[in-house]
A = this chain, B = another copy of it.
Amino acid sequence: MNIEVCASPDLSGLFDLEGKVAVVVDILRATSCMTAGIAEGVSAIRPVSDLEVCRGLMSEDYVGAAERNGAKVDGFDIGNSPFSYMDPEMKGAKVAVTTTNGTVAIERSKSAERIIIGSFLNLSSVASYVRKLGLDVVIVCAGWKGRPNLEDTLFAGALAEKLAGNYESSCDSLLMAKVLWEKAKLDLSALVYKSAHVARLKRLNIGKDIELCMEIDRYGVVPEVNAEGEIVKAIF
């Protein structure tokens, strides 16, 4: 089986996703939120690109989650903090979510056979599920407004390490991700704290979020986009 890395949603047109698994990753923080939410009992998450569509869904019993440029958007129930998704009151809830990068990456992965949600929080479970599906894999990094970023690339390297032996690749983005992960894995936060996105988030004072998003294998679930376009817990 083959594995590739799409370093930015803006490059997704270069990848043929048909018949493949897209593993969408937006470590800080959309896919970490989705993982935490589904693990803690959120029943379904509907990713949408548009703020107004998201707002509309709030009148249909969805909790509205909206983030732009790292901050919660006024008028929505929650922003893009994993802790909001972990609130006991969210058990059983449905969430409609739009974010700067993560929901765009999911949208651009629509032609894939399967779309699953990856984060450090569920790294090993994603690897197990992907191995079980037995399809070619494209790791779709959300990046930041079209630019590749460090933390999503590191996740790609980490997942590639977990899949070694089962998957091969001639993709330079994957090769680079593996070298970076090899360098970073012993002290993930040390390198990630140098990233551009952490600098942006620091201004928003959410160090606790970042720390949580760096936790490896906190959860054993894999969120997956179902036929209705909602993210639910994959059964495997």
| A interface with B by C-beta (< 8 Å) | 7-8, 10-11, 14, 144-150, 153, 170-173, 175-176, 179-180, 183-184, 191, 194-197, 199
Contact = CB atoms under 8 A, between A and B. Distances in A.
A196 B179 contact: no
Nearest to A144: B172
A145 to B, nearest CB: 7
Indicate how many identical chains form the complex: 2
Given A148-B173, A149-B172, A173-B148, A11 B14 contact: no
29 contacts: A7-B7, A7-B148, A10-B11, A11-B11, A11-B147, A14-B145, A14-B146, A14-B147, A144-B172, A147-B172, A147-B173, A148-B172, A148-B173, A148-B176, A149-B172, A150-B172, A153-B176, A170-B199, A171-B196, A172-B195, A172-B196, A172-B197, A175-B194, A175-B195, A176-B180, A179-B180, A179-B183, A179-B191, A183-B183
B196 A11 contact: no
Contacts of A199: 170
What's the dominant secondary structure at chain A's contact region? Answer: helix
Give the one of A146, A153, A172 with max B CB within 10 A. A172
Contacts of A184: 179
Nearest to A169: B196
A194 to B, nearest CB: 6
Given A11-B8, A171-B196, A199-B170, A176 B150 contact: yes
